[in-house]
Chains A and B, each alone.
Chain A
Amino acid sequence: MAVIIGPVERLVEEFSKLPGIGPKSAQRLTYHLLRSPDKDAHELAEAILSLREKIHLCPVCFGITDKELCVVCQDEGRDHSKICVVEHPSDIPPLERTGKYNGVYHVLHGAINPARGMEGDNLKIKELISRLEGDVVEEVVLATNPNLEGETTAMYLRRLIMPLGIRISRLARGLPFGADLEYADDVTLGQSIEERREF
């Protein structure tokens, strides 16, 4: 039986806590670090520490940032009268990559899931409403995921925002680019027929 040395075992254990990394991969990563130059290991450790130390939530949109405000909220060139509501901070980069949206964001940090107890109070919903009441906002784009939880959240938000008289829109649903009609699922196909556009 191989004798595993304390620090090695400890790092293997830490790595295997990460998503998608099993004990074997954790071992491979650990031995890779053991063989690599000191500098690499230091940089990795430093990067992990600074992630925890420097990153915090933007007080306006609750996205992640290392400055006082996040890049989007700081940018005066952006349209601050449009707010796009997303579930997680990781939903912002893909929307930004499209280059089609010039407004600001609001991160809820989750979606409503009654069965798991992730209810309205735990999400940044109150903050969104006070933001809508305070600023001059013309449109709210509900960009929660197009699944049951995301839809429930969107419907809940619509109920709260409607009395404020702000325009509410929802991301369109339909067929992904490069898809095959034959293999499209019935629900998506049904929706894309219902919500078809003038061409």
Chain B
Amino acid sequence: MRTSRSYQAHAVIIKQSKFGEFDKILTIYSSEFGKLPTVARGACRPGSKLGGNVEPLTYSLLMLAKGRNLDIITQSQCIDGFTALKADLWRTSLALYILDLVDSFTVQNSENKPLFNLLIDTLHNLSEEDDGGEILLRYFELNLLHYLGYRPQLYRCIICNSLLLSEVNYFNPGLGGVMCPNCRENGFDSNTISVNALKVLRLWQNCDYATAKRVRLKPTLQLELEQGMQSYIRCILQRELKSMVWLQNLRREMKSSEVDKTNRNN
């Protein structure tokens, strides 16, 4: 625990809002203490030494002092600014969604080192990724759920506990897993999950990212996985994440402008 008056934290800044004339309230996700609300005094001044080190989507080593309400960031050193990430609109939006997920799913002062490591690895991978980052996003969602105790049951039917067979099964977000066709007939509401989707999710639950990204997904399967994960996340949070809505709108806009471009070239 934080016993001394000042302490250090390795943290990713996940959210900020302006406070007063020159201060910022920052939500940080730290390796040592989990999510913490903090205040960065004078961070909006042009000459502030905190400046760019306390922008969202930055991994920094922070020195904090205990405050009456919020702890105060006194010093900062940037470990990784993810500048490659911030230079690309699509990847920035993906990263903002990832930060939004972490913010929505975690509670304050609850340390979760594996989740912190997953976050850092995911942001690193996203900086280096060339493709759309969809696999990375699904992999992150699935493992975030795992580290926070929402790991979906993908091997046995959540109602009758029988082993799931290689056939079309049903995913029930409210019950947190997959059910067999027999149980579904007994009146439980759920969406179908194809054999391939189940296989991919099982693999991602148990492998590292290097293996996960070797999977080649057809657009239909990709869409099925996205919708499945989104319905589960929506069910747990009981709301739609605004950053996801933005991501979907942006993807639609980018697709339509691509179509425009090819039409013009033809």
A48 at the binding interface (Cβ < 8 Å): no
* Complex interface: chain B residues within 8 A of A176 (CB): 46-47
Q: Is the interface of A mostly helix, strand, loop or mixed?
A: helix
Instruction: From A114, A115, A116, A187, give the contact of B81 (CB < 8 A).
Output: A187
Instruction: From A114, A147, A185, A187, give the contact of B242 (CB < 8 A).
Output: A114
B184 at the binding interface (Cβ < 8 Å): no
Q: Is the CB of A187 within 8 A of B249?
A: no
Question: How distant is the Cα of A40 from the Cα of B93 in the complex, in angstroms?
Answer: 51
Q: A115-B15, A115-B242, A186-B77 are in contact. Are A155 and B55 (CB under 8 A)?
A: no
Q: Is the CB of B92 within 8 A of A117?
A: no
A120 at the binding interface (Cβ < 8 Å): yes
CB distance from B86 to the nearest CB of A (A): 6
CB distance from B260 to the nearest CB of A (A): 8
Q: Which residue of B lies closest to A158 (CB)?
A: B89
* Complex interface: chain B residues within 8 A of A115 (CB): 15, 96, 99-100, 103, 241-243
Q: Is the CB of A188 within 8 A of B52?
A: yes
* Complex interface: chain B residues within 8 A of A163 (CB): 257, 260-261
* Complex interface: chain A residues within 8 A of B88 (CB): 155
Question: How distant is the Cα of A148 from the Cα of B247 in the complex, in angstroms?
Answer: 16
Instruction: From B20, B48, B86, give the contact of A148 (CB < 8 A).
Output: B86
Q: Is the CB of A148 within 8 A of B57?
A: yes
Q: Is the CB of A179 within 8 A of B47?
A: yes
Bin the interface of chain B by size: 35 or more
CB distance from A49 to the nearest CB of B (A): 26
Question: How distant is the Cα of A20 from the Cα of B242 in the complex, in angstroms?
Answer: 30
Residue of A120, A155, A185, A191 with highest tally of chain B CB at under 10 A: A185
* Complex interface: chain A residues within 8 A of B261 (CB): 163
Binding site for B on A (CB under 8 A): 19-20, 112, 114-117, 119-120, 147-148, 151-152, 155-156, 159, 163, 176, 178-179, 183-188, 190-191
Q: A115-B242, A119-B246 are in contact. Are A148 and B92 (CB under 8 A)?
A: yes
CB distance from A145 to the nearest CB of B (A): 10
* Complex interface: chain A residues within 8 A of B97 (CB): 114
* Complex interface: chain B residues within 8 A of A114 (CB): 93, 96-97, 100, 242-243, 245-247
B6 at the binding interface (Cβ < 8 Å): no
CB distance from B145 to the nearest CB of A (A): 19
